[in-house]
Amino acid sequence: MDYKISDKLAALKPSAIREIFKSLTDPSIISFAAGNPSPLSFPVEDLAALSADIFANQSTTALQYSVTEGYPPFREAIKKRLGEKFGIGRDFDETIVTTGGNQAVELCCKVMCNEGDVVVCENPSFIGALNAFRSNGAKTVGVPLKEDGIDPEGLEAVLSTTPNVKLLYLIPTFQNPAGVTSTLENRKKVYEIAKKHGVLIFEDNPYGELRFAGEEVPTYKSFDEDGLVMYCSSFSKILSAGMRIGYACGPAPVIQKMVVAKQVEDVHTNIFFQMLCYRYMTERDLDGHIAEIRKIYAKKAGLMLSELDAHMPKCVKYTRPEGGLFLWCTLPDGMSSAEFVKKALERKVAVVPGTAFNCDTEAPSDSFRLNYSTPSDEDIVKGIGILSDLAREMFC
């Protein structure tokens, strides 16, 4: 039988990260390739206790079909927290619970884009979002990400000359993969450009609560008085990634269509874990727990940076993150990272090549991404040593 795969999926390759993951079945490999939260960040005992109580007292609700928008008390709690803590949400906004944050990205694209429409992204950007756009037949067009955020002049040029741009996808805080947090000045400029062109901003903020140094920068959504911003975050990095609970807050007409689209994807998100999340939020100390996670990541990032500072040849540059999960390394003189990544894997250290994050899938990259949240301290020391030796041999 000849399977005629749709154009959008025929063109979509499994992500490079995924391919690297397959090699990770070898336990002797040190992986800096994941984007996993530290298992130390899971409040297992609290979740177990609340879970037992849900089975004992709320099992019918927790095991039955539920509403697509999300468990109503949970949606309310999310809305309240977003408003009180981050100044997010106006009267024209609604909230939807999604099966992980990425579902919100995918749903929003499906709601806004016909096949062939364009999503403008920071270049580089998160592979999971880029592929979500591509899986809906949308085209991704990249605008360079600079030190203070997406390049406003580049953005203006693209929006002025590209037909059918329907979304501007941004990860303004602790950007994945590049680690950049855009400045407030940059955000204000970009907001005005998007407003001028009538393009919805999708603000993806999965790492925003993981700041362990520096000053908070207000989210786009917090100053959105025009219904221009769809905001998205998740509990993956602050409670559990495996439960797949995310949410979006944005203009009602778009959220309502996302609800319709979600209904036919998965009807609703696992209701037991929505209730569990809700009870954790309201009966335990979520903010205290997040403060503990920040300490873990401050320590992990600090260790990786001190090892890099001590051993990595100076010709290799790297970011100094103030939060999030990643470091972004750049090789000297625009060298391609492909060979370096391949040789590192031969020496049993896995990192993700920058090509995985390119909007233009054929473009080369001089960069690679390092994750510090998942590996043990011992593996951080050993793995950075191996990468430093390799860089010295190859480049410096």
Site for a second copy in 12-51 (CB under 8 A): 12-15, 18, 21, 34-37, 39, 42, 44, 47-48, 51
For position 11 contacting a second copy by CB under 8 A, the verdict is no
219, 223, 227, 232 alpha-carbon torsion, rounded to 10°:
10
- The 299-338 contact track toward a second copy, x by CB under 8 A, reads ----------------------------------------
Of 216, 187, 214, 192, nearest to 203 by C-alpha is 187
Ranges within 155-184 binding a second copy (CB under 8 A): 166
Nearer to a second copy, 57 or 306 (CB): 57
CA distance 265 to 102: 13
Residue 266 binds a second copy, judged by CB under 8 A: yes
- Kindly tell me which residue out of 27, 28, 65, 362 binds a second copy, with binding defined by CB under 8 A: 65
CB of residue 340 vs a second copy: minimum separation in angstroms?
26
Residue 373: left (phi > 0), alpha (psi -120 to 50), or beta? alpha
Binding part of the chain for a second copy, among 10-18, 321-329, 332-340, 343-351 by CB under 8 A, reads 10-18
In whole angstroms, give the CA distance from residue 162 to residue 186: 22
**Applying CB under 8 A, which of residues 1, 161, 334, 346 lies at the interface with a second copy?**
1
Handedness of CA 314, 316, 317, 320 (dihedral sign): negative
Classify 267 in phi/psi space as left (phi over 0), alpha (psi -120 to 50) or beta. Answer: left
Contact stretch for a second copy (CB under 8 A) within 78-86, 154-162, 258-266, 315-323: 258-266
**What distance in Å separates the CA atoms of residue 102 and residue 379, rounded to the nearest whole number?**
29
Please identify, using beta-carbon distances, which residue of 27 and 44 lies nearer to a second copy: 44
- Beta-bridge partners for 371: 326
Instruction: Using the minimum distance from each CB to a second copy, give the nearer residue, 267 or 310.
Output: 267
Which lies closer to a second copy via its Cβ, residue 53 or residue 389?
53
Give the nearer residue to a second copy in terms of CB position, either 127 or 387.
127
Residue 243 near a second copy by CB under 8 A: yes
Of 68-97, binders to a second copy (CB under 8 A) are: 68
Please say which residue, 261 or 381, places its beta carbon nearer to a second copy.
Answer: 261
Alpha-helical (H) ranges within 179-218 are 184-197
Residue 187 CB, shortest distance to a second copy, in Å, is: 18
Distance CA 365, CA 270 (A): 39
Query: Of 120, 143, 228, 316, which lies in the binding site for a second copy, with binding defined by CB under 8 A?
Result: 228
Tell me the window of 266-274, 280-288, 290-298, 384-392 that interacts with a second copy (CB under 8 A). 266-274
Alpha-carbon distance 132 to 258, whole Å? 14
258 or 335, CB closer to a second copy?
258
Contact of 144 with 154, CB cutoff 8 Å: yes
Q: Which of 56, 333, 346, 362 binds a second copy (CB under 8 A)?
A: 56
Residues 93-152 that bind a second copy (CB under 8 A): 98-100, 102-103, 105-106, 110-115, 117, 128-129, 131-132, 135, 137
- Given candidates 28, 264, 334, 346, which one binds a second copy under the rule CB under 8 A? 264
What is the distance between the alpha carbons of residues 302 and 196, in angstroms, rounded to a whole number? 41
- Scanning residues 345 to 374, which ones bind a second copy (CB under 8 A)? none
| Nearest distance in Å: CB 156, a second copy | 19
Angle of helix 101-112 relative to helix 127-135, nearest 10 degrees, comes to 40
Total residue length of the chain: 396
Edge-to-edge strand order for the sheet containing 139-146? Answer: 93-98, 246-251, 229-234, 200-204, 165-170, 118-123, 139-146, 149-150
Residue 187 to residues 17, 170, 191, 322: CA-CA distances in angstroms?
A: 29, 10, 6, 18
> Quick one: which of 27, 28, 60, 288 contacts a second copy (CB under 8 A)?
60
Contact in structure between 232 and 247 (CB atoms under 8 Å) = yes
